[in-house]
């Protein structure tokens, strides 16, 4: 999925009639508070990271002689990832997203994309598209490897993915999904599903960091083909249907 869909979604909302099903109004009232909270968390995270880098740079020169005393604490990457996930969960909660599927089933997975279980459990077919997010993020950040450390690039990918999960669950994007794609009964992801989508993205990033680039490309193609063959949808079609909807694709997906 791409963040550019939000701009097109705003334009389509002016010309298209309202969908038959109305989004719960409480999300709209909370969107501003949620966006402000996430922005505050993001700025705080960036500022604290900058302070840590300044402190580390000030200690870059080796001391003249070893001595005992307090040492500078380097914040581990996993802690920053936890803070990013916590901020995402908080914003999604402010947006009114449910913690779990409201159907009452506690199965960790659901493979029915045209049912109310879609994007409500931990794992579904679209989880694999988030793995592809991680692969693409790694490829996009790879040219910056001389300016950004591996940990900073990983955290950048996590921030982008968390921001997309939040944007994906705003009323504007949800309505866009329901109007332009086959997800007619889509009302956003559950918080548990969003957390696992973030983990899937990080897993894809880790896989890409270990593989040769042509293996990553092959994996991306294989996942796309398997999704097209099984659910008639994929990351590429998802982006196309959000940015530039096609009646031919929609008819094929509904068939």
Evaluate if residue 117 carries a pLDDT over 60: yes
**Distance of alpha carbon 149 from alpha carbon 251, whole angstroms:** 46
Percent of the chain predicted with pLDDT > 90: 61
pLDDT tens, position by position, 33-91: 455 555 445 545 554 454 345 334 434 434 444 544 455 567 899 999 999 999 999 99
Banded model confidence at residue 24, pLDDT cuts 50, 70, 90: very low
Task: Report the 10 Å Cβ neighbour count for 171.
Answer: 23
Percent of the chain predicted with pLDDT > 70: 71
Strand, helix or coil for residue 71: coil
Banded model confidence at residue 92, pLDDT cuts 50, 70, 90: very high
Residue 123 is given by DSSP the state B
pLDDT tens, position by position, 227-255: 999 999 999 999 999 999 999 999 999 87
What does the pLDDT read at residue 91?
A: 98
Strand, helix or coil for residue 215: helix
CA angle 105, 196, 164 (to 5 degrees): 120
Strand, helix or coil for residue 198: helix
What does the pLDDT read at residue 29?
A: 47
Banded model confidence at residue 154, pLDDT cuts 50, 70, 90: very high
**What average pLDDT does range 20-24 have in this prediction?**
41
Q: Are 14 and 252 in contact (CB under 8 A)?
A: no
Banded model confidence at residue 30, pLDDT cuts 50, 70, 90: low
């Amino acid at each position: 999925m791409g963040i550019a869909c939000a701009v097109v979604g705003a334009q389509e909302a002016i010309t298209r009639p309202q969908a038959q099903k109305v989004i719960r109004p409480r999300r709209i009232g909370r969107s501003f508070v949620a966006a402000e909270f996430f922005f505050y968390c993001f700025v705080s995270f960036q500022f604290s990271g900058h302070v840590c880098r300044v402190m580390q740079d000030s200690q870059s020169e080796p001391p003249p002689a070893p001595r005992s005393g307090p040492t500078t604490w380097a914040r581990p990457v996993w802690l920053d990832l936890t803070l990013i996930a916590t901020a995402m969960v908080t914003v999604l909660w402010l947006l009114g997203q449910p913690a779990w599927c409201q159907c009452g089933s506690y199965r960790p997975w659901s493979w029915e994309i045209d049912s109310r279980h879609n994007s409500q459990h931990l794992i579904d077919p679209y989880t694999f598209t988030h793995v592809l997010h991680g692969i693409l993020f790694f490829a996009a950040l790879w040219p910056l490897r001389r300016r950004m450390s591996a940990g900073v690039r990983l955290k950048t990918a996590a921030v982008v993915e968390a921001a997309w999960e939040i944007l994906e669950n705003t009323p504007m994007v949800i309505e866009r999904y329901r109007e332009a794609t086959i997800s007619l009964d889509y009302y956003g992801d559950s918080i548990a599903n969003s957390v696992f989508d973030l983990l899937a993205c990080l897993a894809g990033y880790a896989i890409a960091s270990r593989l040769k680039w042509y293996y990553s490309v092959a994996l991306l193609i294989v996942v796309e083909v398997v999704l097209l063959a099984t659910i008639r949808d994929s990351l590429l079609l998802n982006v196309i249907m959000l940015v530039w909807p096609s009646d031919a694709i929609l008819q094929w997906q509904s068939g």
